Amino acid sequence: MCGIVGAVAERNVVEILLEGLKRLEYRGYDSAGVALLDNDGGINRLRRTGKVQELVDAVAQHGAPGTTGIAHTRWATHGGVTESNAHPHTSSERIAVVHNGIIENYIDLREKLSAAGYQFTSDTDTETIAHTVHAELEKGADLLKAVQNSVAQFHGAYGTVIMDREDPSKVVVARSGSPLVIGLGLGENFIASDQMALLPVTRRFIFLEEGDVAQVTRREVLIFDKNGEPVEREIVDSKVEHDAGDKAGYRHYMLKEIHEQPTVVRNTLKDRLDEHGLMTNIFGDQAVEILAKVKHVQIIACGTSYHAGMTARYWLEQYANVSCGIEIASEFRYRKSVVHENSLLVTISQSGETADTLAALRLAKDLGYMSSLTICNVPGSSLVRESDMAFMTKAGAEIGVASTKAFTTQLTAFLMLTLAIGEHNGLTSDDKAQIVRGLHSLPAKLEETLTISEGIEDLAEEFADKNHSLFLGRGDQYPIAMEGALKLKEISYIHAEAYASGELKHGPLALIDDEMPVIVVAPNNELLEKLKSNVEEVRARGGIMYVFADKDANFKGDETMRVINVPHCEPAIAPIIYTLPLQLLSYYVALIKGTDVDQPRNLAKSVTVE
């Protein structure tokens, strides 16, 4: 989703801004732009639709020098993908603005500003920020005050950086609902929506808090809270372990990330699990007391993370004997819900910045949950900072928009949470032993599972000309079927739906024909016989099936049913193992279809607007 980079320095900052934008490309965007203030008092602005490279080429051709600058990758919300809608937006050749988020009252503001004589040159909500700030400057305020007065007029979400041609020594930034981080350099300072953008220039960051407005010059950062009071915010040394790096010889980041799963799952288990079970305090010191009291878990997430939460519900109820609710964050935040006694709120997120998940956490704080835990992949992210407890997955930077390694590390984390809560709620020694054995075997089992990749490549050929597909699973494999369907639609653009196979008769059977491949996830568990009956129902109606199964499940392949054997594993880790072949299937289908695998159309990696 939209990305922001800004800099105030003594040197020309255009390369820093462009490098920052490249590092944010993975988030998904459709146009890019840059504006710099030079010493002659002009605004050098260039914008392009398409990839950041188009902008880089334009800068090489036209030049855009300047020691103070802002840059942006836009993911269209208000107004189509055009150069005139790309950021930065300007007002009266004086103010330039980049913005993430949505100004919800932009129509009212637009009317008011138009009546005051401002000409709009885009269809965006963002342009109202530029003109509002300009109008406040005209009333005699300095840039900082003008921004403070302006944000008081905005409803909605914003992370915004504003500069004034008449004062090139500074930028003013404001955060409400969309993250912003200030990077501290020596005699130069930077701003970004994601610390990843600034890692080549600094590792010292200040994460702005909700309602903060800050004035950033080369030597000074002045921060004011939502009441306009000066505040000090902590300086944090970035713990982001490694950079996105390159593709390490893989054709796409997604394939690299699929193959990293054995390693990152091993990293997620490291120093947390020994041969007896969980090591002490892995959820933090205060967790010991809290987890002992938990009687209900409410999980909130979006997208792939939601599927991890759905799987966790099966585990928490089956093994840890606590009731568990799971809800999509955008639903949870807008309905009245009932909080159970001794209820733990668990948010789950790769990025830690998903707007709806963050809003749900903030809402939950007022609802009376006993405590909040986030399972998250990005240290220092908003969810980590705002939750009572944080458990970090160690997936490393995930660049592919379609989440892969983040998901399997989230599931690994949830199995550990199941052990921790189950310990106080009658987890049986057999179940504990099975989960611990399963977790210890997991990295090796994932490696073994990746070896079936070639067979899946062949299979993908049969999907490439299909328009629809159906994924079936039962029990804790139902969310895995959902995740498989999500992966396929995200990167191959084939319509994919997932059903708990017991639901087949209640509708989807009507869709079955030989043009609709049916993908079945079938480990050898207690629901196998029921699943086999569902498979027969599909076969009887001429469906073509692709069954991912344990070899002991005894599926016999024929012309209507391809069987792909998946390594045998402990039941508790089967959802994690069966995820891999479905990821690979989507990847190879997308490859054949020639889609943009790492940055699929219309999608964003980190959804920072609701």
- In the complex, the residues that contact ligand G6P under the rule CB under 6 A are 302-305, 349-351, 354, 357, 401-403, 603, 605-607
Q: Which of 77, 85, 31, 40 is nearest to 58 (CA)?
A: 31
Query: What one-character DSSP code corresponds to residue 137?
Result: H
- The residue of the chain with the least Cβ separation from ligand G6P equals 303
What distance in Å separates the CA atoms of residue 223 and residue 221, rounded to the nearest whole number? 6
Is 217 within 8 Å of 191 (Cβ atoms)? no
Taking the complex as a whole, how short is the minimal distance between the CB of residue 15 and ligand G6P, in angstroms? Answer: 29
> Which residue number, 91 or 357, has a Cβ lying nearer to ligand G6P?
357
Which one from 2, 302, 324, 376 is the annotated catalytic residue? 2
Taking the complex as a whole, how short is the minimal distance between the CB of residue 605 and ligand G6P, in angstroms? Answer: 5
Is 325 within 8 Å of 349 (Cβ atoms)? no
Distance, first Cα to last Cα, the chain: 11
- Provide the angle, in degrees to the nearest 10, between the axes of the packed helices 478-492 and 574-593: 20
Taking the complex as a whole, how short is the minimal distance between the CB of residue 387 and ligand G6P, in angstroms? Answer: 13
Taking the complex as a whole, how short is the minimal distance between the CB of residue 608 and ligand G6P, in angstroms? Answer: 10
**Taking the CA of residue 276 as centre, how many other CA atoms within 13 Å lie in the half-sphere pointing to its CB?**
3
Helix segments in 374-525, DSSP class H: 382-386, 405-422, 429-450, 453-460, 478-492
Is 183 within 8 Å of 205 (Cβ atoms)? yes
> Which residue number, 189 or 606, has a Cβ lying nearer to ligand G6P?
606
Taking the complex as a whole, how short is the minimal distance between the CB of residue 143 and ligand G6P, in angstroms? Answer: 33
Taking the complex as a whole, how short is the minimal distance between the CB of residue 514 and ligand G6P, in angstroms? Answer: 32
Taking the complex as a whole, how short is the minimal distance between the CB of residue 304 and ligand G6P, in angstroms? Answer: 3
Burial 396-428 (b: 16+ CB within 10 A, else e): bbbbbbbbbbbbbbbbbbbbbbbbbbbeeeebe
Taking the complex as a whole, how short is the minimal distance between the CB of residue 330 and ligand G6P, in angstroms? Answer: 11
> Which residue number, 49 or 357, has a Cβ lying nearer to ligand G6P?
357
> Which residue number, 302 or 435, has a Cβ lying nearer to ligand G6P?
302
Taking the complex as a whole, how short is the minimal distance between the CB of residue 444 and ligand G6P, in angstroms? Answer: 27
Query: What one-character DSSP code corresponds to residue 161?
Result: E
> Which residue number, 222 or 603, has a Cβ lying nearer to ligand G6P?
603
Taking the complex as a whole, how short is the minimal distance between the CB of residue 610 and ligand G6P, in angstroms? Answer: 12
Which one from 22, 466, 487, 605 is the annotated catalytic residue? 605
What distance in Å separates the CA atoms of residue 255 and residue 400, rounded to the nearest whole number? 9
Q: Is the peptide bond before 88 cis (omega within 30 degrees of 0)?
A: yes
> Which residue number, 489 or 593, has a Cβ lying nearer to ligand G6P?
489
Burial 548-578 (b: 16+ CB within 10 A, else e): bbbeebebeeeeebbbbbbbebbbbbbbbbb
Q: Which two tokens stand for residue 38?
A: 């030079």
How many residues comprise the chain? 610
User: Does the annotation count 145 as an active-site position?
Assistant: no
What contacts 24+ positions apart, CB below 8 Å, involve 46-54?
Answer: 47/83, 47/86, 47/87, 47/88, 48/83, 48/86, 49/81, 49/82, 49/83, 49/86, 51/25, 52/18, 52/21, 52/22, 52/25
Taking the complex as a whole, how short is the minimal distance between the CB of residue 80 and ligand G6P, in angstroms? Answer: 21
- DSSP-derived pairing of the beta strands 204-207 and 189-192: unpaired
Q: Phi first, then psi: what are they for 278, rounded to 5°?
A: -70, 145
User: Does the annotation count 376 as an active-site position?
Assistant: no
What distance in Å separates the CA atoms of residue 36 and residue 38, rounded to the nearest whole number? 6
Q: How many other C-beta atoms are found inside a 10 Å radius of the C-beta of residue 290? A: 19
Specify the amino acid at residue 230: P
- DSSP-derived pairing of the beta strands 296-301 and 323-328: parallel
What distance in Å separates the CA atoms of residue 367 and residue 490, rounded to the nearest whole number? 34
Q: Which of 609, 605, 590 is nearest to 25 (CA)?
A: 605
> Which residue number, 144 or 328, has a Cβ lying nearer to ligand G6P?
328
Rounded to 10 degrees, the C-alpha dihedral 51/464/476/497 comes to 80
Q: Which of 550, 548, 549, 546 is nearest to 560 (CA)?
A: 546
* Residue linked to tokens 């949470």: 417
> Which residue number, 130 or 197, has a Cβ lying nearer to ligand G6P?
197
Residues designated catalytic: 2, 605
